[in-house]
Amino acid sequence: RSFVLGIRSEDFAQQCCLIEQILLRRVHWTELLNVNNLSKTGSKNELSMMDEKVNGVDHSPSEMHITCLIERFNDMSQWVASEILRTSSIDLRAKLIGKFIRIAQKCYRMNNFCTLNQIIYGLQNSYVERLKRTWEKVNSNEKSVFKKLVEFTNPFSNFRLVREAMDKFTDNENSIGALPFAGIFLSDLVHLIELPTNEKETDLSNDYSLVNFQKFRQIAQLVRKFITFQSPNHMYDYEYIPSIFQKCQFLYILEEDVMKELCEEYE
């Protein structure tokens, strides 16, 4: 039986907000300019709420904290799928899927677009989707909520709805807790950074090129938007619950071949 079933959805979502908040605040804006050269230099050391409060934000130049943010996203998505597939009882699996849907809904209401996408991606894992008999037992109301959240996080429209929701917080006027889906910023930045830096002068008599100022202007706008989410205005003040925080931080993830084997066993 997954420990998630024994925790209030609200409490679980809040602790995820605190974890993602720490990871987000550690990212220095200069890291965003090197997203197309990311290497696995991030640290998976234990996050300390006390260090965060006492020592402030760590911007150690020796680490790429943006890598931690990416790894956390991938780990959480894989963990959601792992928890479901590790549950041998079909009834408990259905309850767990419903629980994750409710947690995702809480994250949506908390403006935590990061954990929301992590959970939805995990529920859309190919091995989880193949559990047809399990999904049939999921509450119809929860499946309806899931459908709406899938539409909201739909990547095929270039995350239009997520972008629109995130844009409401980039003016820095709303003092409301919010966490961005950093993947949108990173993909946009990679696209812009790979654009030509110089534009050839159309006058063939001149052997020089013009600087692509539009490229740098758009990069600067994206970086400013990202920094806005790191401001105190968008910080959460939820209570730190050590027992839940640690369980949300240290995730047990199954290997893909094990996921496949369990999926075939259940169905």
Which range is least confidently modeled, 22-36, 40-54, 173-187? 40-54
Q: What is the mean pLDDT of residues 110-133?
A: 97
Reported as a single tens digit per residue, the pLDDT across 198-230 is: 655 445 555 555 556 788 888 899 999 999 999
Average pLDDT over residues 71-92: 97
Q: What is the pLDDT of residue 19?
A: 97
Cβ contact 28:248 at 8 Å: no
Residue 230 Cα to chain centre, angstroms: 15
pLDDT score of 22 more than 60: yes
pLDDT at 190: 86
Domains and CATH numbers, the chain: 3-266 (1.10.840.10)
What does pLDDT average to over the chain?
86
pLDDT of 53 reads 44
Residue 111's pLDDT band (cuts 50, 70, 90): very high
Give the pTM: 0.86
pLDDT on residue 62: 46
Lowest mean pLDDT among 78-92, 143-157, 182-196, 236-250: 182-196
When pLDDT is averaged across residues 38-63 and rounded to a whole number, the result is 48
DSSP string covering 88-156, please? --HHHHHHHHHHHHHHHHHHHHTTBHHHHHHHHHHHT-HHHHT-HHHHHTS-HHHHHHHHHHHHHT-GG
